Structure 1
Amino acid sequence: MENVRQSLHKLKIDCSQDNVPGIAVLGSGGGLRAMIALQGTLRELENQNLLGIVKYLCGVSGSTWCMSYLYKDEDWPKKLPTLEDGLCEKLAGGSWKMSKVLDALGAAVDEDDEYSLTDFWAYAIIYEVLNELDETLLSEQASEKGKAPYPIYAAVDGKRLTEASKTSKEIWFEFTPHEAGFPSPGGFVSTTHFGSEFENAELKKKNKEKNICYLRGLWGSALASSEEIKKAIIDYLEQLWSIFEKKVDAAFLQEEKNQSETYRMLSVLKDKWNLLSQDAQVQDYVTLSEILEKEFAETAKQTHLHEEPFIGVWKLLKIVDKILHLLYTWTWGSNRNFLYKCRDIQSGDLTNDDIISLVDAALAINSAYPLILRPERKVNLILSFDFSSGDPFETVKMAAKYCMENNVPFPKIDEKTLEKDKDNPEDCYIFKEENAPTVIHIPLFNRVNCEGKIKEWKDKYSTFRLSSYTDQEIRDLLRVAKQNVSNPKTKQRILAEIQNAAK
């Protein structure tokens, strides 16, 4: 808190140690667009001497990708120019390698009993989008020096998520460098033990901590509709299938292929792939791969199949087979439930299941107001940066609804004005009311920085994009994000609300 007070003093805002305002920055979801825009936003907040006054930085989906990139260096606020250049180089450079994908997927299949589509999404799709397979750990971001806002990464419980439960406290889940858990009903575990097996709060089996690459897949697992996501996964499987064909041919060069039942079955599976409709591919291949796995497993008992190139076929088969089953069941975010049979938690539906399913928080609210508005965080000023592709006010409207239904203080919003402005928003909106936190809401693309071309900007930077942007596209997006903070009028409005919060 002393660091925040000193930063306020630089802005000529003085307050006592007991009256330091609780200021939070919210970064919404929005895929790669959100990642880049949050980078630009944070750099400009630092340029304007505003970042040092922020107590919490809370992200959803694409914003978490930016956060997890920055927080690998605890001094990141002072290194933002260098980190920005590094991000541009990483995203535009294209260092993706299929061999790394296969190694990561194979290891996950072998090591993780709760393997789900999140593993595939993380190690294949998100790695390709971000050009980084980050195996660092969230717990390594822990710092007691207070040089940066405290990071909070959002998710929700997919098993309990329904249209009606989107505004429920119970579904929200948070990750920090120190702990992970459900703020309501108040069950947490050390981040290093997330994914380990517990029963009634007793550790039964310590599993490996999930790495950042996996968590990026979990936090950013809803970049599009389920149909678009399924198509992306199936398209990716076709790439794996072409590799599979080559491995099959190589594996059986030493054999009389016409006499090998295993090879004939592999050939049937290979040939049928392109004949199936997309809907039929998943279900039919689950059945075929079960037959194939049984046949190949029998043959694998022979000594020579424990050697290359047969072992390569077997490993790839296990990956493809696992993904096909998960596509059929649409299983995401499976992890061991650390609250399983925990008698101290009054939530039967949560404690009865030994597996939880965590998914992208954007499926509930695309900005994590529920996490930042926990009473113990004592936040009285929120800087909401909205990187959404649709209605730029949907997050704040959903937050108002959430707060109303859960008796959480929140300022009134004028929905009529927001509805009128949604296709051509201003660059800054302030919602304030006594005995409630003040919200400064800043849409990414607005009438000030887009100069009448908001739709063109939105179309150019779509949320679901399986390739990165060019270096120029990245720098253009960084520029408009920075303008939302550097605009003199907006900065003065922010400073005025900081002054009010410090009274």
Structure 2
Amino acid sequence: MPSKSRSRYTASSDWKPRTVLSVKIVEHKELKFGLLNTKKPFVTVNCPWLEKKQKYSTLVKNEPSAIVNETFRFVIPNHLLAEKQLVEIMVLNEGQITIQTLATFELDALSLEIGKTLSKTFVIDKQSGELCVEFLKYVQEKPDYRSSTDICIEEKKFRKQRMPKVKDAIEAVFNDARSESNLDFNLEQTPVISVVGSGGGYRAAIGMSGGMAALKDAGVLDTLTYAAGLSGSSWYLCSAYAQDGVRNETQDEYHKWLQRQMEQSIKETVKSALKDVFIPDIEYSELKASKEEFNQPNGLVDLFGYTVGKSLLDDKISHTMSQLRTSVADGKVPYPLFTSAHFEGDIASSEFRVHIENTPHEISMPRFGVNIATKHFGSHWDEGVVTRECPEFPLHYYIGSCGCAFSVLGETFMAYGSEADPRLLAWIDALKQEDFQPPSDTMANESRQTESKKGGLNLAKIPIIGEIVEKMASDRTSVVNRTSLVNNVFHNLTEELPFVYDDPADRADLLCPDVQDIVRKLGPRYQKDVDRENEHFSVCDAGIVQNVNVEPFLKTSRFSDLIIVFDMNGYKSDEDFDYMPIIQSAVHASRNGLPFPPIQVKRLVHEAPAEFLVFEGSIDDCPTILWFTLCNKNFKEIKDYEPKIPFDETMNDGRPFNDFPVYSSGTNFGTIQFEYSELHFQQLHELMYHNVTSCMPYIKYHIKKAVERKIRRQERDVQNGP
């Protein structure tokens, strides 16, 4: 393990116990309605003395009797524990014109004995049926979220199953007749290897498929412990795991299926989902109805995720994140992790953001050491207590929330081209100049003003719609909400949340030397607290500010000895890679006191586009990062290249299959391109496949070095003792 640090926050002792009132609607029997009324009964439960919103439960449609089993919870403040605690329950029926009140009941919960359930049957008039309710008052000792920066028990169990398979795979790579050297290591000395994909829409998903295919064919896929992505690469992983396309035996067929799915234009899916109210898309209408029933927000990002999900998930469109547990239950494939982020509506993500790690078992916000059971992400919360459990989000929700880049703050994007910190951008611009000096705050501010003017778009002057557009540009949630809104886990939470990242000064031995100046200037990670007042908070594409996120594998809990990155970022042209994802990854990691291998930034900003870069530290507590791109330089120079699909040069404007631009003028691979022919899919797939395969000796060499580093660390830890 890497050296220990104070970021290992594991206690939840700051959370004070709460007294909770639980009201469970068990069933209703023989409800009777007027002849002209439709049969849509529902129940409201309200505690007006708490000043909480009513909790609605749609019981059943078109049936007078039904089992309900839905529970509502209310957190009782200490100063009201001895006061009258009146619970109001109303049974209503939604008619065609009006809502009919069938009955109203009251119960004083003050008389309830702590920890003892009271079952009560309320008679709804003598001839109109019954309502069965259970009341329970109890003291909750721990919050419904888990407070820790460590991984959950289920993920630890996965690793216990996975690591012997990783060890066997590494041995198989090296201990054969073709290998120049054998490796001798035990299970504890087996390195953790992770693959991380970037954003980039369908381009990223296809590039990810080529990289994963190359690893599979070389026998390296089975050496991975984790597979992670954001935005477009997370789409690939969501689809691959849902469609059982990750295993060696199924990957080839899955990629053929994926290619066919990407030939379909998502325009047709959008049209289907947005048909008029008389002929709605049934699945999307059911999704909207479910969220409305449970008072969950629904918006543009939900539609976007559903639209992409219809293509990439197909018959698994209703799968949930929790269902991916079956894919990893036996430890035969890497553990998936999808990155999103919490931003605030009108604050640039460079100033405030909270990364979110989405896995089959938990949704985690490591900045605060808060981990939510996947099934509870989206449920209603109050003071750390789940007050109403909602159905788990479908997998296509994560396709939207992890990959919806139009959440970008418009005015910041137009001024700087991204939501990266303007001081960081000014620093990089200065590095590109021949006489480099670190920019001052004044230089950064002047740069911001200059760039803003260079944008040439004064929104306020746009006729008629200027004010609306300006609001949308300055706030993600104004006019049209461009984020995914979920129920706020921090709602009404009074406890101080821990700040669990390290101060860079405490980890000077791990700081990337070439970025120390900007790290000192930017200071420690954003200290702003989360919003606790609003019932909802925003979840967005993390790629808006950082299009590759390796931080989950730099921390102690998932520390990876070797990280393989597939970078499908949207670079300026095939001749101009600014390598911003690498620089941002190094800066943000160093800023948080996390070990990122040294990079030579000044050299990197002048570096010609390359297929493969290596970043390696000089100490055993720092991972090695192998960085692959979609640079089409060596690939297009291959003479008489034979593609894996039928091809003639008329299909590619008279050029060979492997001669095409990825980013420059004439490209067919734009970030917002959502329809790929077989040719264009295969070109990108085979490009990344070639770039990774041609460097496979280097990958294996660094796997060997990762084993050696892990051996040295284990021996050091044994020598130093616990």
Question: TM-score under structure 2 normalisation?
Answer: 0.53
What does 1:191-202 align with in structure 2 at a 5 Å threshold?
Answer: 191-202=374-385
The sequence identity of aligned pairs, in percent, is: 21
Structure 1 residues 283 and 75, CA gap change in structure 2 (3 angstroms): closer
Q: Which runs of 5+ in 1 are unaligned?
A: 231-276, 285-324
Equivalent in the alignment of 2:204? 34
What does 1:429-448 align with in structure 2 at a 5 Å threshold?
Answer: 429-434=614-619, 435-448=621-634
Displacement after TM superposition at 1:388 (Å): 0.4
Equivalent of 1:82 in 244, 247, 253: 253
1:476 equivalenced with 2:683 (yes/no): yes
CA distance in 1, matches of 2:464, 2:337: 38
1:457 equivalenced with 2:642 (yes/no): no
Structure 1 residues 502 and 326, CA gap change in structure 2 (3 angstroms): closer
| Matching residue's letter, 1:341 | N
What SS does the corresponding residue of 1:356 show, helix, strand or coil?
Answer: strand
What does 1:312-351 align with in structure 2 at a 5 Å threshold?
Answer: 328-342=479-493, 346=497, 348-351=529-532
CA distance in 2, matches of 1:130, 1:25: 21
1:10 equivalenced with 2:217 (yes/no): no
Structure 1 residues 392 and 63, CA gap change in structure 2 (3 angstroms): farther
| Matching residue's letter, 1:117 | L
Displacement after TM superposition at 1:429 (Å): 3.0
CA distance in 2, matches of 1:361, 1:279: 33
Equivalent of 1:369 in 538, 546, 550: 550
Displacement after TM superposition at 1:106 (Å): 3.7
Displacement after TM superposition at 1:26 (Å): 0.7
Larger radius of gyration: 2
CA distance in 1, matches of 2:214, 2:463: 45
Displacement after TM superposition at 1:282 (Å): 10
Displacement after TM superposition at 1:427 (Å): 2.9
CA distance in 1, matches of 2:622, 2:689: 28
CA deviation vs aligned residue, 1:155-201 (integer Å, no higher than 9, x gap): 111218955746x7x61111000110201111111111110012223
Displacement after TM superposition at 1:342 (Å): 3.8
Equivalent in the alignment of 1:485? 692
| Matching residue's letter, 2:302 | D
Check conservation: 1:39, 1:66, Cα contact below 8 A: yes
CA deviation vs aligned residue, 1:322-357 (integer Å, no higher than 9, x gap): xxx976143411001223234565165344443120
CA distance in 1, matches of 2:495, 2:355: 19
Equivalent in the alignment of 2:599? 413
Check conservation: 1:74, 1:141, Cα contact below 8 A: no
Structure 1 residues 74 and 108, CA gap change in structure 2 (3 angstroms): closer
1:71 equivalenced with 2:241 (yes/no): yes
What SS does the corresponding residue of 2:386 show, helix, strand or coil?
Answer: strand
What does 1:291-306 align with in structure 2 at a 5 Å threshold?
Answer: none
Equivalent in the alignment of 1:99? 272
1:138 equivalenced with 2:345 (yes/no): no
What does 1:197-212 align with in structure 2 at a 5 Å threshold?
Answer: 197-212=380-395
CA deviation vs aligned residue, 1:363-416 (integer Å, no higher than 9, x gap): 121011222222111212111111101246211111110122111111110112
1:57 equivalenced with 2:210 (yes/no): no
What SS does the corresponding residue of 1:26 show, helix, strand or coil?
Answer: strand
Considering fraction of residues, name the structure with more helix. 1
Displacement after TM superposition at 1:440 (Å): 0.9
CA distance in 1, matches of 2:346, 2:546: 11
Q: Which has the higher contact order (CA 8 A, sep 6+)?
A: 1
| Matching residue's letter, 1:330 | N
Structure 1 residues 333 and 454, CA gap change in structure 2 (3 angstroms): farther
Question: TM-score under structure 1 normalisation?
Answer: 0.74
CA distance in 2, matches of 1:47, 1:491: 10
| Matching residue's letter, 1:21 | P
Check conservation: 1:130, 1:468, Cα contact below 8 A: no
CA distance in 2, matches of 1:164, 1:193: 26
CA distance in 2, matches of 1:326, 1:161: 8
Aligned length: 411
Equivalent in the alignment of 1:183? 366
Displacement after TM superposition at 1:283 (Å): 5.3
CA deviation vs aligned residue, 1:282-340 (integer Å, no higher than 9, x gap): 959xxxxxxxxxxxxxxxxxxxxxxxxxxxxxxxxxxxxxxxx9761434110012232
What SS does the corresponding residue of 1:395 show, helix, strand or coil?
Answer: helix
Check conservation: 1:60, 1:360, Cα contact below 8 A: yes
Structure 1 residues 345 and 207, CA gap change in structure 2 (3 angstroms): farther
Equivalent in the alignment of 2:582? 396
CA deviation vs aligned residue, 1:137-158 (integer Å, no higher than 9, x gap): 1110013211111111001112
CA distance in 2, matches of 1:392, 1:140: 39
